[in-house]
Amino acid sequence: MPIDPFFSTMLDNLDAAGKLIPASHGTAQQARDRFKANSVARRGTGYVPEAVGGTSDHVVDSPTGPIQIRVYTPIQDRGRVVTYAHGGGWVFGDVDTHDPVARRIANGLGAQVVSVDYRRAPESPFPAGLVDVSAALAWAADTYPDRIRIVAGDSAGGQLAIGAAMRVRPYGPRVAAALLLYPFVDPTMSYPSINENGEGYFLTAADLRWFYDQLLPEPSMWQAPEVDLLRADLTGFPPSVVATAEFDPLRDEGVAFLERLRSCGVTAEHVPGQTLIHGFASFAKALPAAGNSLQDAFDAVDRILANPSVD
C-alpha cells in the first residue's frame, strides 16, 4: 500500500522547508533541541492535550542517582500500571516530547502510566538508560503492588522496555505484558527494510547508525543481550505486542523479533502499521490510520491479558 497521504505531505513540506535534517547533524544537544522544537510544532496551533484523569511528577531513586518520572492517571481505570520508555534514539526525547503518547497509552489501556525521563547518550551511554527504566519499573511495582504490570516503549524506548523486562525475569517484579512500538532490536542493521526505507521517511539508515554509535561507544557493548536482542535468550519474556510500520527502516527487524519471541515460547501478537512511518504513535490524535493502529495494539494487549495462551 502507498504511504498515507498525511505523512507524504508532511515529509514533502518538511523537505521544502529544509527541516528534514539528519539526527547526526551537529551536536547531540542540537539534535535534542531540533527534535523538541519539531515535536511541539507538529501539534499545531490551538493544540489541546488529550484529557487524562491527572498527572504528577516524581523523583525516583536509581542505583546511580535520582531520575524524574511523570505519572498519568487514566480517565477510566482498569487496574493496570505501565512503565513507559519514550523514543528518540537514546539521544533525544523526554517526558514532554512524548506526553501525547503517554496520555494515549493511559486512556487506551486504562492504566497508570509511569513515563521515565531516563539518562541519554552520549553523555550517559549503555546501560545508563536501561538502569533508569529498570529502577522506574521497580518503583511502579512497589508503588502500585496490586496492579497488573506492563512495560511499554516506542523506538529506542522499545529496546529499553525489553531490556528492563529481561533483567527482572529471574527475581521479579512479574511483568504481565509488553507493548513494543517499532522497537530497535538489531544493532547489525542487516534486514532489507533498512535499505528499502532508509531514505525519505524521516528516520534514515544513517540516523540509526549514529544512534547506535552514541549509545555503544565500547565494542563489547554491541554484544550485550539487552542490545543484540535477536540473539538473546527470551525464554520467560512477558507476552508481547509488537507494532511495526510499513515505511519504517526498522520494520523487518520488528517482525524478526516477533518470530524470535515465538521461537522462545513467548506469546506474541503483531500489529502491522500499513501506510505508516516510524514514530506514528505521536500522530495518533491527528491521523486516523495512526490512531487506529495504536488502538489495534491496545486491543492486542487486552487479549493477551485476558488470555495469555493466545498465540
The total number of structural domains that make up the chain: 1
- 49 within a domain of the structure (yes/no): no
3-state class of 243 per DSSP? strand
- Verdict on whether the full-model pTM lies above 0.95: yes
Q: How far apart are CA 92 and CA 42, in angstroms?
A: 17
Sheet holding 240-245, edge to edge: 54-62, 65-73, 111-117, 80-85, 148-154, 177-181, 240-245, 268-273
For the annotated catalytic residues, the residue numbers are: 155, 248, 278
Nearest C-alpha neighbor of 56 from the set 106, 108, 120: 106
- 296 within a domain of the structure (yes/no): yes
> Each residue's pLDDT tens digit in the chain (311 positions)?
899 999 999 999 888 888 888 888 889 999 999 999 989 888 878 889 999 999 999 999 989 899 999 999 999 999 999 999 999 999 999 999 999 999 999 999 999 999 999 999 999 999 999 999 999 999 999 999 999 999 999 999 999 999 999 999 988 899 999 999 999 999 999 999 999 999 999 999 999 999 999 999 999 999 999 999 999 999 999 999 999 999 999 999 999 999 999 999 999 999 999 999 999 999 999 999 999 999 999 999 999 999 865 43
- 93 within a domain of the structure (yes/no): yes
Provide the pLDDT for residue 193: 98
- 311 within a domain of the structure (yes/no): no
Q: The domain spanning residue 261 has which CATH number?
A: 3.40.50.1820
3-state class of 30 per DSSP? helix
Q: How far apart are CA 93 and CA 86, in angstroms?
A: 7
Q: Which three cell numbers stand for residue 39?
A: 515535536
- 142 within a domain of the structure (yes/no): yes
291: containing domain: 5-43+54-306
Q: How far apart are CA 258 and CA 252, in angstroms?
A: 10
- 48 within a domain of the structure (yes/no): no
- 75 within a domain of the structure (yes/no): yes
